[in-house]
Structure 1
Amino acid sequence: MATHMTGTREAWLAQRLDLLEAEKELTRRSDEIARQRQSLPWVRVDKAYRFETEQGSATLADLFAGRSQLVVYHFMFGPDYRAGCPSCSSIADGFDGFVVHLANHDVTLTAVSRAPLAKLQVYKERMGWSFPWASSVGSDFNFDFNVSFTQEQQHEGTVEYNYQRGRHAMDMEPAPAPVVEFATSCGTDAPTYARDRPGMSTFVLEDGVVYHTYSTYARGLDGIWGMYQWLDRAPKGRNETGVWWRRHDEYENETQRA
């Protein structure tokens, strides 16, 4: 027996048309917010950041790979992790599909993490990914863009993440159960795991100068988390009671079920 309200096709259509108007308004509002993002002032990046890539040592300008726009996904993979964050991994599962389209629209997409390049490459091979992934180990890049923090900042409650300064949920003691679960899956403890956070930053290269244009964090990443866009349109929505997702090679043949 169905546990949800049921009705006639006519009743469904009437409500669907109301929903359509709401969806159109959301689309128009989303377009306006995109224009607001693009109208933010550009901030010149003067610090000489260095990264390790498969092609060798690189500057921030080198990461553009000959294009004028750069999108960086701040992937949670700290130096002491043994595997990448499961949430970041599920987001990154979609990168290979559209990185080629972005590249052909003058946009380079790369992930950046603090773990050493060799560790990133091993995990990248495990996941079967091919998108660019640079290591910022030894650089201030992650700290300057508010996705990595020191032990002292955690203890003092001065972490500045998602444009808020203070003690965040991930810094609570004892740590929330999902943080402990993810930390364990990454081969580390909760405080160490929480010293890296997810985010996205975008940059533009004009007349040889790199400018920072936008950054977003936490639920600001929902729009690029592909599985949630599908679940929001599925009959039962996100239907979450806790952490349910895993790295794609850790499910037990879910896609093979009859």
Structure 2
Amino acid sequence: MATSALPPVVDTDTWQRQLDELRAREKAATRELDAIAAQRRRLPMVEMPDYTLEGEDGPVRLADVFGDASQLIVYNHMWFPGQEWQCGGCTGFTSQFTRLEVLGNYDARFVVVTQGPIDEALAYKKRVGNAMTWYSTANSPFGDDVGAPLDGGFAVNVFLRDGDTVYRTWHTTGRGTEQLSHTFALIDLLPYGRQEVWQDSPEGWPQGPTYSRWGGSEDIAALYGPARVG
């Protein structure tokens, strides 16, 4: 959306002084995130049942979803039965992850788990050009047990495996998932930010309804799916 609103123009010294003031807050936030991560590493954990999920090659125990790793990040993708296009937010979020092999250096893996039947889930994955490994929990209580029920509910869960025993170590949902996303981090650097009405922006800044600039699942498929141009 075009706008005539612009930040004030100042001399370089004034700009640098105000940038330095902001930088002090940014560094304080970085140190707080470090402290939060340290507390997260000290969380206790909960032993999980021996769930069986469905993968591309058939049934697979949760312990085997880890592959050779001992740590596992699971994104629980929302699923609505009978719908051709699933949650746009989940579809856009998971489309960002195309270079996950680096996690192997940290003894970890990142996968998608959804409540949709595995055949439908894999067809959807292909339709939207998703690069991650998908599993289905349609025949297991796993999704319900980790805060991602059918017909609504997305989440991030982290697990630790010790031999064949799996433990749940962390969970978040809602805006807690933003820390895994590079999209919002980039957008929040822009002068106009996310341009959503809930944000604290200067008078005259372009703003619209929340989610109005988010791409839908069909948009993601057009950009990254097998029918994309280019």
- Does the TM-score normalized on the shorter chain lie above 0.5? yes
The aligned residue for residue 32 of structure 1 is 35
- Whole-Å separation in 1 of the counterparts to 2:105 and 2:132: 14
Please say if residues 92 and 215 of structure 2, whose CA atoms lie closer than 8 Å, have aligned partners that are also in contact.
Answer: yes
Please say if residues 46 and 167 of structure 2, whose CA atoms lie closer than 8 Å, have aligned partners that are also in contact.
Answer: yes
Letter in 2 for 1:133: W
The aligned residue for residue 103 of structure 2 is 102
2:209 matched to 1:245? no
* Displaced runs of 4 or more, over 6 A: none
2:212 matched to 1:223? no
Counterpart of 1:57 (choices 56, 59, 62) is 59
The aligned residue for residue 120 of structure 1 is 121
2:143 matched to 1:142? yes
- Whole-Å separation in 2 of the counterparts to 1:237 and 1:12: 19
- Whole-Å separation in 1 of the counterparts to 2:114 and 2:217: 20
Identical counterparts, % of pairs = 30
- Whole-Å separation in 1 of the counterparts to 2:191 and 2:53: 44
The aligned residue for residue 154 of structure 2 is 198
Letter in 2 for 1:211: Y
2:105 matched to 1:86? no
Instruction: Flag structure 1 segments of 5+ consecutive residues without an equivalent.
Output: 150-194
- Whole-Å separation in 2 of the counterparts to 1:25 and 1:36: 17
- Whole-Å separation in 2 of the counterparts to 1:199 and 1:130: 19
More helix by share: 1
Letter in 1 for 2:25: A
Q: Could you report, residue by residue, the CA deviation over 1:218-255 in whole angstroms, capped at 9, with x for unpaired residues? A: 1111112321111110111111222221147527x99x
Please say if residues 114 and 136 of structure 1, whose CA atoms lie closer than 8 Å, have aligned partners that are also in contact.
Answer: yes
Please say if residues 95 and 129 of structure 2, whose CA atoms lie closer than 8 Å, have aligned partners that are also in contact.
Answer: no
- The alignment of Structure 1 onto Structure 2 pairs a total of residues equal to 206
- Deviation of 1:5 after TM superposition, in Å, equals 2.1
The aligned residue for residue 167 of structure 1 is none
What TM-score results when the alignment is normalised by the length of structure 1? 0.75
2:14 matched to 1:14? no
Instruction: Flag structure 2 segments of 5+ consecutive residues without an equivalent.
Output: 197-207, 224-230
- Whole-Å separation in 1 of the counterparts to 2:81 and 2:160: 28
Q: Could you report, residue by residue, the CA deviation over 1:168-201 in whole angstroms, capped at 9, with x for unpaired residues? A: xxxxxxxxxxxxxxxxxxxxxxxxxxx3211100
CA gap 1:213/1:124 in 2 versus in 1, 3 angstroms: same
- Across the aligned residues of Structure 1 and Structure 2, the Cα RMSD in angstroms comes to 1.9
